[in-house]
Structure 1
């Protein structure tokens, strides 16, 4: 069987990882980026339209600014290609619903880059919950304690923005860098569809001079009644691996989704691009993260988009380190308040975080 012909759109930053993976998984035939890459032995086009007009492609991998995800995915799907789309898949619920219709019309496949969904550790924890091994589920908490420097927000015009030139971007700690936390928590609850998510409460804050949130709690109540508490920051003392914890009446289980560890035990992970290629060859092979299974997550993105702008954290609660592009704030005791919120499935204001 001939190798899948793959194109990558957006080759800088995380896109470089997709380029390397495409070279391993199939035949990389072209890339598209307004800034041509160096040292890559394939034709580079300034846009996806020009790429598709010049060459035949089976799979398009899209790793571009958030606000371009849906338009580019639609272009690729209508050209007859299948798509691997980076997260967050859409900036608005209307965009999400539009692309669902495009997928139905074209009959093509669209996989979203939530890698944790293809981890055997995540799937094993979901099985344990369904089997009742943790007892009655009290709730699910997702914790992210990350550190991002000024250079992170300066890397692109859309970074740290809620809108750009009037177009929704909805960047932020919950929706982008730590988006896997929310997506994994909803998957564990079996609440991946739009209708599976009920109430969404948001408390968005920022220490950096940006539009979007960098320190936030979000509480989701799913249609089945599960409370999902997201507590994250990009202003921690040190950069730690994020976790998702299932709180049950018989105990807790902790998933480290970045390293595929479940209660300290390592599990394998399936590559999402390979899974998409296998699905192309045999539609009986299910996608691990089809676009339609990101509706619940996009409901959360929509709630954050419609929420009030993040409130600034007072300077008295911040400690700044580094200079120039390395400068970054540390929120006082933020790790403590994140742990309190996660353990009690409560918002920052409910546990008394001082910036609230």
Structure 2
């Protein structure tokens, strides 16, 4: 469901050595879109003898040669489960609005679940899924791949050491380009709901969800109880229901501000990053590259870290009891953000005078004029677009229109 580094870069730590357990029997639900990443990763793990991909399910047949000939192919999870006993792990990489029913169906089996992000499309569904997981005793890993980065432990040590002084705030910046074809690729793209079913496919909940999730993890906000408040300032330049240019401002239970300024209407795509703002310096984490840059009065250092693969981590959890990197419960803070976006007023349409279209036809993409500077100001000042008084933004609360 999201752009991610290659399987090779995700696997800074493989964890194959010394395993003596038989290969885990795995089923994959959803073989297109981000499901193709899982197919490649499972091919790697199967070659290493760690897993056996025994079955896949998708209403659209897999691309020729993309699935091992030994794996059975089914049109849906119901048919797969009826014909495939004794699964160890079920991976769900399907459209957002299907995560809740498919996740619940998987938890009704004896298999553990790997569920792509976002976990589900509402806080109510999250609570239902969590209760089902607790009742079943099964483990659930959520596909926030960036949380497997070894940089996160280094960042924790950096903050604890006081190298950048007192941590004053955290920001996440994402500037990507998505064209008209992006919103035509599926019927749920850019939708808040379909036929009364929540989708919530906005910039902060799908394409740049990792920016939000990574910032929250660094801030120590994992569960629902770790978040004090969430404010949203949502806009759209494209002809869609959901937001494509937004500021999400979170305050943790410990009072730390976390501001996420995100767009898929940039002039050009740039690597998203999370910035730790300290009283004596700053640290910038480019999470898709596992690259950490630290700036203090003593100078600047940069390091690239390895990464644990979340599928391997789930397998190690099953075999050895290793701690899950991205368990369902720890998605609670992110789900509060999603819920705030889901229940917010419709994103405001940006005046066409402040939108430039680059390219032609389905390859054309919207560019919000001055968006790069707006994102920089929002994260630096921990301010919404409205509070910055941008000409295309809604008046700030208490401001005359």
Considering the TM-score relative to the shorter chain, is it more than 0.5? Answer: yes
Q: CA separation in 2, counterparts of 1:165 and 1:130? A: 48
The aligned residue for residue 331 of structure 1 is 368
**Deviation of the 1:122 alpha carbon:** 2.1
Equivalent residues in 2 for 1:141-156 (5 A)?
141-156=171-186
The aligned residue for residue 53 of structure 1 is 82
Equivalent residues in 2 for 1:295-314 (5 A)?
295-314=332-351
Equivalent residues in 2 for 1:172-321 (5 A)?
172-263=202-293, 264-283=302-321, 285-321=322-358
Do the aligned partners of 1:117 and 1:123 also contact (CA within 8 Å) in 2?
no
**Deviation of the 1:80 alpha carbon:** 1.0
Q: CA separation in 1, counterparts of 2:243 and 2:33? A: 21
Do the aligned partners of 1:243 and 1:257 also contact (CA within 8 Å) in 2?
yes
Q: CA separation in 1, counterparts of 2:163 and 2:103? A: 40
**Deviation of the 1:299 alpha carbon:** 0.3
Q: CA separation in 2, counterparts of 1:171 and 1:321? A: 23
**Deviation of the 1:351 alpha carbon:** 1.9
Gaps of 5+ in 1: none
Matched, 1:349 2:369: no
Matched, 1:93 2:123: yes
The aligned residue for residue 162 of structure 2 is 132
Q: CA separation in 2, counterparts of 1:353 and 1:289? A: 37
After TM superposition, the score normalised by the length of structure 1 is 0.98
Secondary structure of 2:221's aligned partner: coil
Do the aligned partners of 1:137 and 1:249 also contact (CA within 8 Å) in 2?
yes
The aligned residue for residue 398 of structure 2 is none
**Deviation of the 1:134 alpha carbon:** 2.3
Q: CA separation in 2, counterparts of 1:133 and 1:67? A: 43
Q: CA separation in 1, counterparts of 2:80 and 2:161? A: 48
Secondary structure of 2:101's aligned partner: helix
Q: Match for 2:199 among 158, 169, 190? A: 169
Q: CA separation in 1, counterparts of 2:105 and 2:208? A: 27
Residue-by-residue CA offset, 1:269-316 (whole Å, 9 max, x unaligned): 000000001111112x00000010000000000000010000011110
Do the aligned partners of 1:236 and 1:335 also contact (CA within 8 Å) in 2?
yes
Do the aligned partners of 1:122 and 1:257 also contact (CA within 8 Å) in 2?
no
**Deviation of the 1:6 alpha carbon:** 1.0
Secondary structure of 1:237's aligned partner: strand
Secondary structure of 1:125's aligned partner: helix
Residue-by-residue CA offset, 1:192-239 (whole Å, 9 max, x unaligned): 100111111110000000000000001001111000000000000101
Q: Bigger radius of gyration, 1 or 2?
A: 2
The aligned residue for residue 37 of structure 2 is 17
Q: Identify the range of structure 1 (119-128 vs 209-218) with the bigger mean alpha-carbon deviation.
A: 119-128
Do the aligned partners of 1:136 and 1:250 also contact (CA within 8 Å) in 2?
yes
Q: CA separation in 1, counterparts of 2:115 and 2:230? A: 25
Matched, 1:28 2:28: no
**Deviation of the 1:352 alpha carbon:** 2.4
Secondary structure of 1:134's aligned partner: coil
Q: CA separation in 1, counterparts of 2:163 and 2:134? A: 37
Q: Identify the range of structure 1 (147-156 vs 344-353) with the bigger mean alpha-carbon deviation.
A: 344-353
Secondary structure of 2:373's aligned partner: helix
**Deviation of the 1:132 alpha carbon:** 3.1
RMSD: 1.0
